[in-house]
Amino acid sequence: MFAKLGSTFGSLFIVWTMFQRYFPLHLQAYIDQYLRRLVKAFDPYIHIKFYEYSSNRFRRSEAYIAIENYLSSKSTDQAKRLKGDSVKQGKSLVLSMDNEEEVLDEFQGVKLFWSKLETHNRSTTISYYPGKMYYKLSFHHRYRESVTKSYLNYVLEEGKAIGARNRQKKLYTNNPNDDRSYHNTRWSHVVFEHPATFDTLAMDPKKKEEIIDDLVTFRESKEYYARIGKAWKRGYLLYGPPGTGKSTMIAAIANFLNYDIYDLELTAVKDNTDLRKLLIETSSKSMIVIEDIDCSLTLTGQRMKAKPKKEENKAEIVCPIKKKADEENGGKSSSSSKDDSKTSKVTLSGLLNFIDGIWSASGGERLIIFTTNYVEKLDEALIRRGRMDKHIELSYCDFEGFKVLAKNYLSIDSHPLFEKIRSLLVETKITPADVAENLMPKTTKGDAAESCLENLIQALLKTVKEEAMKKKKAEEEEKALKEKEKSNEKIKEEEKQQPETNSILKCDKEDAETSSSNSIEVIK
């Protein structure tokens, strides 16, 4: 009975909040006070308000936005009056309930009532904000604990996740040191609109599945990472020849996780401190990408540029590549890297700290991705497990990869020419980029799919021929080398034998000389 009475008073109070503005001020305060007392005495319901602008008048409350997102789908089903708003730069529409509408929610068997209300501005001064919008949550006092401890967290998390799905992704790049004047920002960004997805990525389906599973596990492991005391981040190393889809995979991951991308150009970073500051300014739910990590500090155009003499003395950089590059250049690389790295003083240890130092934990939910064409050249410390947790090789196109590309580019799943292509792909190596290039329809006339597949077959045959010629040339060179070695050995052997003959000849000559001198003496 009390509950009924309470809810009646509760409803009465809602009606009062809606119409109180029509009463004179002194009467408003009086009625308000008595109604509140009455409601408190009989109302078994607890009410929580979430204002749109609470402490900061210029920034919408995060809780309010999350609740709005959370209630949006429920509002679509239940509310009679809805409000529409566009998101993702007008690409999709989101509906939310209009003022004074109510929506019912249920959580673990508990019924919860949400209403959207507005307190009208009573002040006589002109204000930018006509009133204060708020969401009111009402529930029975029996469920106070479960609502305040679990339900509200659930609503906020869900609301944030919906917000993240609706938001536009961004692609950031770090500004060069000398170009900070504009707003003094370290990162500038554009809207990220790459269409790549895992569906359009050509690679071994098993590998693809494994990567997707890994990403999903990472995204849902906030509590796990907290429990094991590890920062919520994961390192990916993508390696493989040029044109095998490393950059495409980065775009596919960003689209899959709905993360922003921070494309870090290491050569534009002044030093380790600068690197750390860049890291601090990245947000969570993001990917920090360093493309061509092997080239970042030693092999770029910057490296090749001649630097003014006086700058040369300042060079201190340590490159993340060491062994192989040094070996291949006969030890020259270390000296050249000294010359080459004048512009950046980022060191390997700075980079390692960037990846998993204590600063790297700020923000959370972040992927760090390196790409390289030459994995064997990288310093082991940089890519050891724990730093780069997952090493993914992207390789030449196989038949499965080709089928994905044929579906993407030509919208076909099968064709009589597929068998020929299958056998040619076994014979030769071709990158997905080259396959994709051949599958791009060049004309709208006739059977586009057939002519593209023919083009691909021609390209494959050409590669097979080129490879055969290369192989033949290599074999001939090897043969010539062996013959040269053989003839060298022969000459050496001959030379070995010659001294003996020479010494015999010498001895004979010496003997002859002594005997002749003796004979001279005798004659004397």
Binding site for Mg ion (CB under 5 A): 246-247
In the complex, the smallest distance separating the C-beta of residue 311 from Mg ion, rounded to whole angstroms, is 30
Contacts of 236 (CB under 8 A, 6+ apart): 253, 367, 368, 369, 370, 388, 389, 390, 392
Site string for ligand ATP, 392-431 (x = CB under 6 A): --x-------------------------------------
322: amino acid identity, one letter: K
According to CB under 6 A, which one of 10, 159, 163, 243 is a site residue for ligand ATP?
243
**219, 246, 322, 366: residue in contact with ligand ATP (rule CB under 6 A):** 246
Partner in contact with 244, chosen from Mg ion, ligand ATP, none, beta carbon below 5 to 8 Å by kind: ligand ATP
Work out whether the CA dihedral 267, 271, 272, 277 comes out positive or negative: negative
Q: Which of 425, 386, 423 is nearest to 402 (CA)?
A: 425
* CB of 108 closer than 8 Å to CB of 71: no
CB of 440 vs Mg ion, minimal distance in Å: 19
- Which among Mg ion, ligand ATP, none contacts residue 71 (Cβ within 5 to 8 A by kind)? none
Nearer to ligand ATP, 171 or 394 (CB): 394
Please identify, using beta-carbon distances, which residue of 241 and 364 lies nearer to ligand ATP.
241
Q: Based on CB atoms, which residue is closest to ligand ATP, 147 or 201? A: 201
Q: Is 110 near ligand ATP (CB under 6 A)?
A: no
Are the CB atoms for 254 and 192 separated by under 8 Å? yes
Comparison of 115 and 438: residue with beta carbon closer to ligand ATP: 438
d(C-alpha 196, C-alpha 170), whole Å? 15
Give the residue, chosen from 46, 348, 433, 464, that forms a contact with ligand ATP under the rule CB under 6 A: 433
| Residues 1-40 close enough to bind ligand ATP by CB under 6 A | none
User: From the list ligand ATP, Mg ion, none, which binds 159 (C-beta under 5 to 8 Å, kind-based)?
Assistant: none
Task: Give the range of 1-9, 246-254, 457-465, 482-490 binding ligand ATP by CB under 6 A.
Answer: 246-254
Tokens 């602008």 belong to 53
Please, what's the b/e burial string for 360-398 (b: 16 or more CB within 10 A of its CB; e: otherwise)?
beebebbbbbbbbbbbebbbeebbeeebbbbebebbbbb
- Other beta carbons less than 10 A from residue 44's beta carbon: 15
Tell whether residue 202 is a contact of ligand ATP (CB under 6 A): yes
- Nearer to Mg ion among residue 268 and residue 424 (C-beta): 268
* Choice from 436, 439, 452, 456 touching ligand ATP (CB under 6 A): 436
With CB cut-offs between 5 and 8 Å by kind, which of ligand ATP, Mg ion, none does residue 321 bind?
none
Rounded to whole angstroms, how far apart are CA atoms 105 and 67?
12
Q: Pattern of binders to ligand ATP over 182-201, x per CB under 6 A?
A: -------------------x
Residues 6+ apart with CB under 8 A from 29: none
User: What CA–CA distances, in Å, run from 25 to 29, 127, 171, 454?
Assistant: 6, 19, 53, 84
Tell me the window of 78-86, 236-244, 344-352, 488-496 that interacts with ligand ATP (CB under 6 A): 236-244
459 lies in the site for ligand ATP, by CB under 6 A: no
Binding status of residue 248 toward ligand ATP by CB under 6 A: yes
> Is 254 a binder of ligand ATP (CB under 6 A)?
no
Tell me the β-bridge partners of 369: 236, 289
Distances (CA, A) of 396 to 109, 200, 202, 399, 400: 54, 16, 10, 10, 11
Q: How many residues does the chain have?
A: 524
Bridge partners of residue 158, in order along the sequence? none
Distance in Å, CB of 373 to Mg ion, minimum: 9
User: Rg for the chain (alpha carbons), in Å?
Assistant: 38
Does 439 bind ligand ATP (CB under 6 A)? Our answer is: no
CB 308 within 8 A of CB 315: no
Within positions 370 to 389, which residues make up the interface with ligand ATP, using CB under 6 A? 373
Candidates 69, 175, 247, 300: give the one binding ligand ATP (CB under 6 A). 247
Contacts with ligand ATP by CB under 6 A lie at 201-203, 242-248, 373, 394, 432-433, 436
